[in-house]
Amino acid sequence: MHFKILLTTHSTAFLTSGGGESELVQVAELLNDAGIQADIYGIRSRPVRFYDAVMHFSVHADGEAIIRAIVHHGKKLFLWPNVWFLSPPDDAEIRRIEAIAAHAERLLFKSVTELEHFNRYITADPRKCVVIGSGISDRFLAPADKDLLPTVCDVSDYVLCLGLIEPVKNQLELIRALNRLEMNGLMAGGFRDEEYYRQCTREAHPGIHFLPFIQPCSALLRSALANARIVAEPSFDPPGRSCLEGAFMKKPLVMADGQWQREHFGDNVWYTASPNAADIAPAIKAALTDTDREEKIARNYERVYARHSSSTVATELNRHLIDAGLTH
């Protein structure tokens, strides 16, 4: 039997595309590479009855209508909550998310840290909860076209920060650190908070450049990573996919310390003592000058590849689909 799965998310997700939407695209890619037909909901997808199950990304309230339709059609639901609470949710929000989780055949989490964070606020059947690392495309292992980025952006010898520009990602303090160091930077991603974005552009020195959203896995994204001296993301929430991709491309990583970061990278990256510019700057400097720099980068690549290669993650996903009685 050829297994068919539909990937969905909440209706407003792509108004401002970020890491969660990139995740959906790459999960579809690795499932298709593993011989599972995975379609993303949209004009090219089939009616829901055509699919054996639906994989929904997010517990956002805007996704509730599509979840109701999935349940109505009797399809098994695999749910990636993709939620990180910066403050405790209120009782109504907890009840709403618990009601969605109750419909799921499996709740899929990309890290132990994410599962523990979810369980801190939301009660869900532990038998449904599984941890499957983010799958990183093999395209990040192939040589990148380093000549591509200079065709769209005149920047070199830069620190790269990927992702939506918004306060939780802390790009402003990174920019202030680069100003101190007189280092170039590339902030690649659209913005969710226009006022914060404008403050970032006002404070950035002329060697710090801004690019809009770059497509996941694209040749331009890989070129931006290949040309970077460092990948930095000193954010208040877990950095996520961009740092994993940086590890695949054997780049030194600078980030804020935290449980998610330690779970994925151990001691193989350069942690900031705080999210402030005064502490980001020395972490960037250390990533350039540490005597064990190359050994850390190599160890980080091996650690991240072992868990996040597309074949490893596809095998894990397939195993849980089999456990749910959907594939043979």
Same fold: 4-135+309-323 with 139-307: yes
Q: What is the DSSP letter of 267?
A: T
Q: Residue 318: what pLDDT? A: 86
Question: Which run of H or of E encompasses 27?
Answer: helix 19-33
Q: Residue 13: what pLDDT? A: 73
- Give the strands of the sheet with 53-57, arranged side by side: 37-40, 4-9, 53-57, 76-80, 106-109, 129-131
Residue pointed to by tokens 């780049």: 251
The top-level CATH class assigned to 4-135+309-323 is alpha beta
Question: Which run of H or of E encompasses 56?
Answer: strand 53-57
The pTM for the full model equals: 0.91
Superfamily of domain 139-307: Glycogen Phosphorylase B; (3.40.50.2000)
Dump pLDDT digits (tens) for 85-111: 989 999 999 999 999 999 999 999 999
Q: Residue 20: what pLDDT? A: 60
As given in the structure block, the two tokens for residue 46 are: 């089939």
Beta strands per DSSP E along 163-239: 184-188, 208-211, 230-233
For residue 269, which of 303, 230, 296 has the smallest C-alpha distance? 296
Q: What is the mean pLDDT of each run of 10 residues along the chain (328 residues)?
A: 86 68 83 90 93 94 92 94 92 96 95 96 95 92 96 96 94 98 95 94 98 90 98 92 96 97 97 97 98 97 96 88 64
Q: What is the DSSP letter of 160?
A: E
Domain edges within the chain: 4-135+309-323, 139-307
How far apart (Å, rounded) are the C-alpha atoms in residues 23 and 40? 12
Q: Residue 326: what pLDDT? A: 56
Dump pLDDT digits (tens) for 175-213: 999 999 999 999 998 898 999 999 999 999 999 999 998
How many Cβ atoms are within 10 Å of 298's Cβ, its own excluded? Answer: 12
How far apart (Å, rounded) are the C-alpha atoms in residues 48 and 46? 6
